[in-house]
Chains A and B, each alone.
Chain A
């Protein structure tokens, strides 16, 4: 590197006195020699001067720093408090950030696993648990059972794998995929079993057991739900399927249908398992046949059966027991191996009688299990081999009625002054009728207010009924009478043209009450103004009695202002009502007449129905009351104004009580805000 080539650099550094001593000497030596560089040196010096001047002009003024500070203070208001600073440092500390990033990553991984449905960690922990199980060392007594469970669990897992393999390759045979895991599991078992004889001290054993339990619990919980896979792939080959069908048919002739079904079953290489039939009241038959046919012929069989009559209902069901079946099969195989091993152990003849007993016990348990599993398999085999068809047969018009019954019910309500007499008359009427009239219920009530009522229920032969009802009606005033006729089908719900109709006994219910209790047919209330109340009230009574009426209640009252009131309640028959009303005009001025009429259905006898009258006879009283006059008015006015003042005072109090907390709160808030801002 020569100075000449880098003359610019050297010149610049020289001007800014950044050259080392040697370099400076070398530069100056070169400048003496080289005219070009000398020229450049001159020019550079001149330019340096210009530059210095230019920058000197542009230098910021003295207040620059203060401006910066002021700007900073304006734009970053407020001091960061101690807590704020602590929080700031915490949030921005490296450890916090690392933890945050780690948490985020973990969350992402979890979300990913959730989405893809993978179980990466689960497999790892499963494998981790296997060596743990192997390293348990000598086991005895109770420890063995846990060990067996563990082996079984492993077995189950391999079977799961096998099952999955089966689903992935639908064409493959069941027995073919025998993964090495099975052999591994058995080996492990074989390695453990001979060690059963070594007894271990109790406490140690206990801790090991716990280890087994905890290690086996983790993978169990993470086992994927096997049910979700069963419906995924409909590979029918190698599947164990139980098929069954329910058919409901309506046919014309039951026996013919049974014969045909039997024939069909034979054609399809099946058989009739059970037949049942039932005869209805109207002579029709219904029943059920259970047929077993080969599953592959099921559809054809159903097709034929459907031709027999009208199809009411059909269900076809398939139950997939493939998984259960193979599970049980594998478990059975396993249990057999176990059984053999236990037998071998017995043959070895240990000295310890306890151990022998344990082995015997275990052997019994295993054998029991084997038998149960064999039974299950056999049952499933039989179910799979034949499909079950349940045919429900019913002849046409099964629901036709066999006969009809005409039921008649009558309700009679009577009003009479003498309840007891009518009641006894009715009873004697029934006894006179002999067996054709039966009293089913008779009741006479008298309560402590003197009200009397009676109820009689009777059953009457159809021929007698009209006569009896007419007689009963004559015993009092009929308030209402109802007859209800019902035709009841027997032996079925549907219409039948040829079924005959029979008349049943008539049920008659009679209610007897005293006419006092009868509600008035018409209610009238009116006022009569007159000067002599007492006298006019007396006259009113006389008038009422003349018109066949009865006074039910009366009262008399005189108020402080000298007004007199007499209230009279009357009851007259309807036919005399108009006459009475006309005669009332003679008593005084009739005012405020109001009439309320109740038109009841079933009212048979309007003329003798009762009408109620409420009459108030009153006088005008004194003109000036004690409440009027100067002093009374003054007293009232002062009292009212005092009350008004008290009321407003109370309202002011309420308003203050309501507003005060808010005002206090607002003032405090403003104070706090100001204080903060001043800081």
Chain B
């Protein structure tokens, strides 16, 4: 599943090798960002969450014994961190952001964007994380399942449901955009 080289990098990082950990940051921060973004729907906050999660991971790296599980563990930390941020923030930022953008863009796209946003926000957090991993990183289902700690094959159902629920919500907006 994981090749020997990758495994060695993770093992070294667990044992305190900084260079190995930096290598992990290079390769893994995008998927982590995808997860954080999926949950938070805000780039700045997601970046901060990833940053915090990486620091925390470095400090408590000794908790992971199996290098095999290191990526999944990283994802978990990011999820927790993002969830914390999500809980703490007030609902204001999203709305404000949308108002700002709505001035520059055309009314239609703004509406669609707005609809998309609210549809995404309505989804469960796990679904959002899975969606963003898929759409940002184009990861295959098995990897996503591994990262999010899901059982084999369950992702198909999750993504299916997520897409369906969004589809239902976005139906009018889509219809207006593509007559």
Contacts and interface: CB of A to CB of B under 8 A. Distances in A.
Interface of A: 6, 8-13, 15-16, 18, 40, 43-44, 46-48, 50-52, 54-55, 58-60, 64-65, 67-69, 71-72, 75-76, 79-80, 85, 88-89, 92, 94
Contact of A9 (B51, B65, B132, B160): B160
B90 interface: no
B112 to A, nearest CB: 7
B28 to A, nearest CB: 9
Contact of A18 (B55, B140, B174, B178): B140
Contacts of A48: 163
A94 B66 CA distance: 13
B34 to A, nearest CB: 9
Contacts of B110: none
B58 interface: yes
Interface stretch (B3-11, B15-23, B67-75, B81-89): B15-23
A6 B174 CA distance: 23
Interface of B: 15-16, 18, 21-22, 25-26, 29-30, 33, 37, 43, 47, 50-51, 54-55, 58-59, 62, 65, 112-113, 116, 131-132, 134-136, 140-141, 156-157, 159-164, 166-167, 170-171, 174, 178
A59 B174 contact: no
A69 B132 CA distance: 22
Nearest to A47: B167
Contacts of B33: 60, 64
Most central of B43, B159, B171 by chain A CB within 10 Å: B159
17 contacts: A6-B160, A15-B163, A18-B140, A44-B164, A47-B163, A50-B112, A51-B116, A54-B116, A58-B43, A59-B136, A71-B54, A71-B55, A72-B25, A72-B58, A85-B15, A88-B16, A94-B65
B132 to A, nearest CB: 7
Q: B interface, by DSSP: helix, strand, loop or mixed?
A: helix
A59 B43 CA distance: 9
Contact of A64 (B47, B59, B131): B47
Given A44-B167, A55-B136, A9 B157 contact: yes
A75 B166 CA distance: 39
Contacts of B29: 64-65, 68
Given A13-B156, A50-B116, A79-B18, A8 B163 contact: yes
Contacts of B174: 43, 46-47, 50
Contacts of B65: 94
A80 B134 contact: no
A48 B141 CA distance: 16
Contact of A55 (B47, B59, B135, B141): B135
Contacts of A69: 22, 25-26
A92 B15 CA distance: 10
Contacts of A64: 29-30, 33, 47
B26 to A, nearest CB: 5
A16 B157 contact: no
Contacts of B171: 43
Nearest to A78: B18
A76 B55 CA distance: 7
Of the listed residues A6, A18, A79, the one surrounded by the most CB atoms of chain B closer than 10 A to its CB is A18
A665 B105 CA distance: 67
